Chain A
Amino acid sequence: MSLKLDGSQLLCESLIREGVVDIFGLPGGAILPLYQTLPQYPNLNHILTRHEQGAAHAADGYARVTGKAGVCWATSGPGATNLVTGLATAQMDSVPIVAVVGQVARASIGSDAFQETDTTGITLPITKHNTLVMEARDIPQVVKEAFHIANTGRKGPVLIDVPKDVQTEIIELPFDSFEEYYSQIEVDLPGYKPTLEGNGSQIKKAVKLIDESNRPVILAGHGIIFSGAYTELRELAEKAQIPVITTLLGISGFPDDHILCVGMPGMHGMAYASLAIEEADLLIALGMRFDDRITGKPSAFSTQSKKIHVDIDPSEIGKNIEVDVPIVGDVKRVLAKLNPQVSDNTHADWLHRIDELKSDHPSHIIRPTDELLPQFIMKEISDVTDSDAIVVTGVGQHQMWAAQHFTYKHPCTFVTSGGSGAMGYEVPGAMGAQVAAPDKTVWSIAGDGGFQMTMSELATIVENNLPVKFAIINNNVLGMVHQWQEFFYDKSYVATGYTANPDFVKLADAFGIKGLRVTDKVQVRGAIEDAMEHDGPVIIDFVVEEEERVYPMIKAGGTIEDLVEEPTKNPQEVG
Chain B
Amino acid sequence: MKTNGSSPYRTITALVRDKPGVLNRVSSMFRRRGFNIASLAVGHSEEPNQSRMTFVVEGDERTVEQVNKHLHKLIDVMKVTEVTSENVVARELALIKIRATGDTRTEIIQIVEVFNGKIAGVAPDHLVIEVTGDPDKIESLLGLLKRFGVMEVMRTGTIVMERWIGHLHDSKAAAKNNRKNWGEAASV
A residues in contact (CB < 8 Å) with B: 120-121, 124-125, 128-129, 132, 149, 153-154, 189-195, 312-315, 317-319, 328
Contact = CB atoms under 8 A, between A and B. Distances in A.
Contact of A191 (B29, B65, B70, B78): B78
Given A125-B32, A318-B65, A191 B188 contact: no
B70 A315 contact: yes
A327 to B, nearest CB: 13
B19 to A, nearest CB: 9
Nearest to A149: B75
Given A124-B24, A129-B75, A195 B32 contact: no
Given A121-B24, A124-B25, A319-B66, A314 B188 contact: yes
Contacts of B187: 153, 191-194
Contacts of B70: 315
Contacts of A153: 187-188
Nearest to B21: A120
B71 to A, nearest CB: 9
Contacts of A132: 20-21
A161 B137 CA distance: 47
5 contacts: A132-B21, A191-B79, A193-B186, A194-B188, A314-B72
Nearest to B17: A191
B54 to A, nearest CB: 17
Contacts of A128: 75
A120 B65 CA distance: 27
B28 interface: yes
Interface string B176-188: 0000000011111
Contacts of B184: 193
B69 interface: yes
A314 B75 contact: no
Contacts of A315: 66, 69-70, 72-73, 188
A154 B69 CA distance: 13
B185 A318 contact: no
Contacts of B167: none
Give the interface SS of chain B, mostly helix, strand, loop or mixed: mixed
Interface of B: 16-17, 20-21, 24-25, 28-29, 32, 62, 65-66, 69-70, 72-79, 184-188
B28 A191 contact: no
A192 B69 contact: no
Contacts of A319: 66
A136 B66 CA distance: 37
B24 A192 contact: no
Contacts of B62: 318
Contacts of B78: 190-191
Nearest to B67: A315
Q: Which residue of A129, A153, A192, A194 has the most chain B CB atoms within 10 A of its CB atom?
A: A192
Contacts of A154: 188
A472 B100 CA distance: 78
Given A153-B187, A191-B17, A193-B187, A313 B32 contact: no
Contacts of A313: 73, 188
Q: Which residue of B16, B29, B187 has the most chain A CB atoms within 10 A of its CB atom?
A: B187
B28 A189 contact: no
A238 to B, nearest CB: 30
Given A125-B32, A149-B75, A314-B72, A192 B66 contact: no
A370 B7 CA distance: 67
Nearest to B72: A314
Contacts of B186: 193-195, 314, 328
A154 B188 CA distance: 6
Given A194-B187, A314-B188, A189 B32 contact: no
A191 B32 contact: no
Contact of B75 (A120, A121, A191, A312): A191
Given A191-B185, A191-B187, 20 more contacts: A121-B24, A125-B32, A128-B75, A129-B75, A132-B20, A149-B75, A189-B75, A190-B78, A191-B78, A192-B75, A193-B184, A193-B187, A194-B188, A195-B186, A314-B186, A315-B66, A315-B70, A315-B72, A315-B188, A319-B66
Given A125-B32, A191-B187, A194-B188, A314 B69 contact: yes
Nearest to A154: B188
B183 to A, nearest CB: 8
A121 B23 CA distance: 12
Contacts of B79: 191
Nearest to A125: B32
A191 B187 CA distance: 7
A474 B70 CA distance: 42
A202 to B, nearest CB: 14
A315 B184 CA distance: 15
Contacts of B32: 125
A324 to B, nearest CB: 15
Nearest to B20: A132
B52 to A, nearest CB: 13
A189 B66 CA distance: 22
Nearest to B184: A193
A110 B62 CA distance: 39
Contacts of B65: 318
B28 A124 contact: yes
A63 B69 CA distance: 27
Contacts of A129: 75
A310 B29 CA distance: 24
A88 to B, nearest CB: 12
Nearest to B29: A125
Q: Which residue of B65, B72, B186 has the most chain A CB atoms within 10 A of its CB atom?
A: B186
A194 B186 CA distance: 6
A198 to B, nearest CB: 13
A99 to B, nearest CB: 16
A109 B72 CA distance: 30
Contacts of A120: 21
A328 B182 CA distance: 12
**The 7 residue pairs across chains A and B that have the minimum distance between CB atoms:** A315-B69, A153-B188, A191-B78, A154-B188, A193-B185, A313-B188, A129-B75
A328 to B, nearest CB: 8
A220 B70 CA distance: 24
Contacts of B28: 124-125
A190 B188 contact: no
A97 B24 CA distance: 23
A193 B188 CA distance: 7
A190 B17 CA distance: 9
A191 B71 CA distance: 10
B23 to A, nearest CB: 12
A443 to B, nearest CB: 33
A101 to B, nearest CB: 15
A195 B187 CA distance: 8
